[in-house]
Amino acid sequence: HPLRCLSLQEVGPTMVGDEHSDPSLMSFLGATKRNMLGNHFWEYYVNDAPRIVLNKLESCGYRVVSMTGVGQTLVWCLHKE
């Protein structure tokens, strides 16, 4: 079952995936794929606040497993049963 880790800030933008993420889930979240200058990878992000993203993912069956803070960034790990 998928385990999804999100890097979330208190307000948007919210990073919701990488280049290997499920395109249909990224579309459902309204995510945009981008490559930040200096990074050698792509990421998906939305302008929504974390609570909005978490509510959308909950409606798809994802549940929060853990959360931690890294500097001013919050990282949420979710699991889908």
| Omega before residue 50 within 30° of 0, cis | no
Query: pLDDT digits over 13-58, tens only?
Result: 888 999 999 999 999 999 999 988 888 889 999 999 888 999 999 9
CA R_g for the chain: 12
Residue with tokens 């990878």: 41
Q: Report the alpha-carbon distance of residue 36 to residue 60 in Å, rounded.
A: 28
User: 4 to each of 15, 19, 37, 80, how far by Cα in Å?
Assistant: 11, 13, 24, 8
pTM: 0.78
Give residue 1's pLDDT.
Answer: 46
Please answer whether residues 12 and 49 qualify as being in contact, where contact means their C-beta atoms are separated by less than 8 angstroms: yes
